[in-house]
Chain A
Amino acid sequence: MAKLHVSTTINGEPQEFLCDADQSMLDVLRGPLGLTGAKEGCGTGDCGACTITLNGRIVCSCLMLAAEAEGQQIGTIEGMAGEELHPLQQKFLESAALQCGICTPGVLMAAKALLEKNPDPTEHEVRFWLAGNLCRCTGYDKIIRAVMDTAADMRAAR
């Protein structure tokens, strides 16, 4: 099968890859690109473990064709930390807001997008924003608290 050639930007860096027409973005990230932070939970857009950003908006990479990345800006969990961890990552560690960690990259990507849009969310807003990120270990309280605490820290630091 003839492969499609795709030129895109991933975490700010130009990136090219070859893919099949029906291959998902998640498959290409985890396979040829070696970016295994995004996880495949359900493969049908229900669990959010594969969350990435597409032009700044969170999407499920399992519900996106790799070919659609042509000319677009993709963000993955690998781009979240700079020299230091992102405040959300640091807070998740400190608060033990994870157990097995499969859902964590998706939760972090979604939470980061929320705080960029709304630095002072209510708990209700956090819960609804993260409703598409399923965790089967901890229950959600520690995750929600970690996001709320990070938001407070980031507001105080401004």
Chain B
Amino acid sequence: MDIQYVAPRTLDEAVRAFAAAAGAGRILAGGTDLLVQMRNGVVAPGTIVDIKKIGELTSIEETKDGGFRVGAAVSGAVLREHAKLSKVWPGVVEATNLIGSTQVQGRATPGGNLCNGSPAGDSVPAMVAAGAIVTIQGPNGRREMPVEKVPKGPGRLNLEPGEIVVSFTLPPRGKGSSDAYLRMIPRTEMDIAVVGCGVSLTMDGGTCTAARVGLGAVAPTVLLVEEAAKALIGSKLDDAALAKAAAACSAACRPIDDKRGTIAYRTKVAGVLLKRTTLIAAERAGGK
């Protein structure tokens, strides 16, 4: 069968082309997953819909209320070069920048990272911690969804046929707020997370007044760990509060056993990373 490549200029055209291809359509953002999957024979698309000619998908804008709207097909390198975004959401930017090499950073996108559906995608726990809202457009129009609701399982998404992830909206940040992301890998660079942890929090006079925790690579999907956030909120991030939040992270883990990490290891490291990530976020937010 002929493979088609289309690079529409508008989102409406992209949605039409993607929907028309039915199950045989594939969205091309950075291509760092798709081209590998095509080469390995994992996918054989009938139509490749390149979304990088669409302005809304390739731009970063500040929203009226002081947040950011990040196009799903913005590359990691472009995210990092956005000075204001890097200052306001350092955890989201550092997480996205952990994906692959410099070459991969020139192409790989947060939209692709989310839609690849890997539980170990680095940008996803940071987006979950940030409370990012995903805008989706499909044949039935536009809708929004919290980022943690998008993954359904490894490689599977809660999207309807023909729906395309358009952008991530990051909320405005008050004073004393910041975020951070850490991942555990057995090497220093260029590997897939054994555990990934994103923490976003607000500090007021040494007390944590708001927090969200995202955990990756420890369950079939990236997790929002509300119990861990509850343990942090209201505390001064003292040892007892951190230990309680770490225990909540470990309790939330339902990991696989594989060559990169055993169940016991991933479960323990989830708690360790929670503590470290929280302290980095708090330091960035202005200190404990």
Contact = CB atoms under 8 A, between A and B. Distances in A.
A85 interface: no
A57 B102 CA distance: 9
A63 B190 contact: no
Interface stretch (A74-82, A92-100, A124-132, A137-145): A124-132
Nearest to A52: B103
Nearest to A58: B103
Nearest to B187: A131
A2 B38 CA distance: 19
Contacts of B102: 58, 110, 113-114, 128-132
B4 A60 contact: no
Chain A contact-residue range equals: 20 to 34
Contact of B189 (A2, A62, A131): A131
A45 B104 contact: yes
A52 to B, nearest CB: 9
A57 B40 CA distance: 26
A48 interface: yes
Interface string B67-109: 0000000010100000000000000000000001111101100
A22 interface: yes
A29 to B, nearest CB: 15
A133 to B, nearest CB: 8
Given A20-B3, A65-B28, A60 B103 contact: yes
Interface of A: 1-2, 4, 20-22, 24, 43-46, 48, 51, 54, 57-60, 62-65, 67-68, 70, 110, 113-114, 128-133
Interface of B: 2-5, 7, 28, 30-32, 35-36, 38-40, 45, 48, 50, 52, 75, 77, 100-104, 106-107, 189-190
24 contacts: A1-B3, A21-B2, A22-B38, A22-B45, A44-B36, A45-B32, A45-B101, A45-B103, A45-B104, A54-B106, A58-B103, A58-B106, A60-B107, A62-B35, A63-B107, A64-B35, A67-B50, A68-B7, A68-B28, A110-B103, A129-B102, A131-B101, A131-B189, A132-B103
